Amino acid sequence: MWLDQRGSEVLGRNECLRLLAVHAGGVGRVGLVGNTGGVVIEPVIYRVLDGDVLIQVGPGSLLDAARRPSAVAFETDHLDLGGRQAWSVLVRGLATVIDDRRRAAGARPPAARPLVPVPGDTLVRIRTDILSGRRFALRTPASS
């Protein structure tokens, strides 16, 4: 096990992929450079397809980026209050549109409904080209 300078456990690629898969169907955030040149961060519900991140999107900056295709960042995390620990996984990779919906049928979980009322129906795949992650203990609140 390798610890960073703050005492967080640095996660290897396999553990990052495992955490993404186990928590697929959860919330993550996609960061990208938007159409106006500014940074955009959008919350998404994600699935996992062949070790990559799969999201469902509608018109907007994220779909525009995937149609180019473009490099984006995806981050998800989890707090385990009972076990007093947390983890975070960061993916950096190419976002592309999936045109073959049969190919996406193998995603896990099979359905992960977006939270927005009109999510759009385009599937975007984010390759897990670069993965990094950290796991760390949660501090116990100080008693007053």
Q: What is the pTM of this model?
A: 0.88
pLDDT at 142: 60
The reported pLDDT for the residue numbered 64 is: 92
Nearest by Cα to 112 from 62, 74, 55, 60: 55
Cis peptide bond upstream of 110, omega within 30: no
Pairing of strands 130-137, 9-11: antiparallel
pLDDT at position 23 is 94
Q: CATH for 7-136?
A: 2.30.110.10
Q: What was the pLDDT predicted at 115? A: 73
The kind and range of the H/E element at 112 are none
Q: What's the confidence (pLDDT) of residue 141?
A: 66
Structure letter (DSSP) for residue 108: B
pLDDT tens-digit profile of 45-67?
Answer: 999 999 999 999 989 889 999 99
What's residue 4's pLDDT?
74
Residues of the chain with pLDDT under 70: 1, 141-144
Asked whether 68 and 125 are in contact (CB, 8 A), the reply is no
The per-residue pLDDT for 73 is 98
- In DSSP notation, 1-70 reads -EE-TTSPEEEPHHHHHHHHHHTTTSEEEEEEE-TTSSEEEEEEEEEEETTEEEEEE-SSHHHHHHHS-E
